[in-house]
Amino acid sequence: MASEAPMVPLLTPHKLGNFNLSHRVVLAPLARQRSYNYVPQPHAILYYSQRTTKGGLLISEATCISPTAIGYANTPGIWTKEQIEAWKPIVDAVHAKGGIFFCQIWHTGRVSNSGFQPNGQAPISSTDKGLSPQIQSNGISVTVHDPPRRLRTDEIPQVINDFRLAARNAVQAGFDGVEIHGAHGYLLDQFMKDQVNDRTDEYGGSLENRCRFPLEVVKAIADEIGAERVGIRLSPFANYNECGDSGPEELGLYMANSLNRYNILYCHMVEPRMKTVWEKAECPHSLAPMRKAFNGTFIVAGGYDREDGNSAVAENRADLVAYGRWFLSNPDLPKRFELGAPLNKYHRETFYTSDPVIGYTDYPFLEDSS
């Protein structure tokens, strides 16, 4: 009698609130910059549906909540009727294949410049401290950021409302829920991290104050669309976009505990080892305290391969594992993990081009590459 194939932890089912996942391999939110004039395009239908499996969870690329949220060219938005309508066939294509689709909603804050902002105004942030020029992913080009304008205390409710409306629009577009982008040095992270937040009002100073705005966003969205449709992504240990914190363990644990008040669906944490955008490093820190503290589904991301992901699930360090570059370059990643098949190499130079095909929907499936 033939022996059974060994169980692959990543390919076991998981109950994600009201959703029944058939496996634990998640498409991470990945900026692709192919949404011309900030409107999702028909070519995204193929991109997302290629990466959809029945019972698989996909998280959309970061999607701007308002005109002030923009920080990069050709990123999608969800604040207009046109954008909502453009998302609908993309979401429908994922649902047609049995996938679960969450929209990551985003405000870049000071990681922008006046050229992206309404009327050429300064980007908004927790601070008026500027960001240094940043070398782009091609290692050559440099992005210059204009100094931001510190949000007034009385303006913060308007930004919270922008997040709330974006969540409502996402549900209207058909998404199953939203992931709040609270990571990687963007607006919410700019409030949480003490390297950036130098405020003296109720949104600055203490850890509780610095986390107030992100948690108010969580509450507003949970009240609007239901906590069972809400997740958040956090990167307490990362210093992307010059946004680090002097006490990342305390920050992550405070957020994990505080999120329980709102009973949201999941918390998506980036590994401490991911200090830079592309490379992982040895790191003595762990997400274990946050995993233990948070009551909902716990998703991890950051440099995982098949072996790492299986270990994380098998050892109960995570419920789900999000994959970025490997899912980008292997649209059938769960199948490759199931078979232990080799992976396509990814081409970093085509990650952020505006081409509707190259580096986007032209990576081969197993049957194409055999």
Kindly list the catalytic residues: 186
Q: What does the alpha-carbon distance between residue 265 and residue 38 come to, in Å, rounded to a whole number?
A: 28
Neighbours of 45 (CB within 10 A): 18
> Are residues 167 and 104 in contact, defined by beta-carbon separation less than 8 angstroms?
no
Q: Report the sign of the C-alpha dihedral through residues 133, 137, 140, 141, in that order.
A: negative
Q: Are 47 and 92 in contact (CB under 8 A)?
A: no
The rounded distance, in Å, linking the Cα atoms of 174 and 176 is: 6
Closest CA to 48 of 64, 34, 66, 67: 34
Collapsed DSSP state (helix, strand, coil) of residue 36: helix
Let me know the angle formed at the C-alpha of 328 by 321 and 57, rounded to the nearest 5 degrees: 40
- Do residues 232 and 259 make contact, with C-beta atoms less than 8 angstroms apart? yes
CA distances to 4, 58, 184, 204, 232 from 302, rounded to whole Å, are 31, 16, 12, 29, 15
Residue 306: CB atoms within 10 Å: 20
Strands annotated E in the chain: 14-16, 19-21, 25-27, 57-59, 63-64, 100-106, 124-125, 134-135, 142-143, 149-150, 177-182, 230-234, 266-270, 297-301, 320-323
Cα–Cα distance between 59 and 323 in angstroms, integer?
Answer: 10
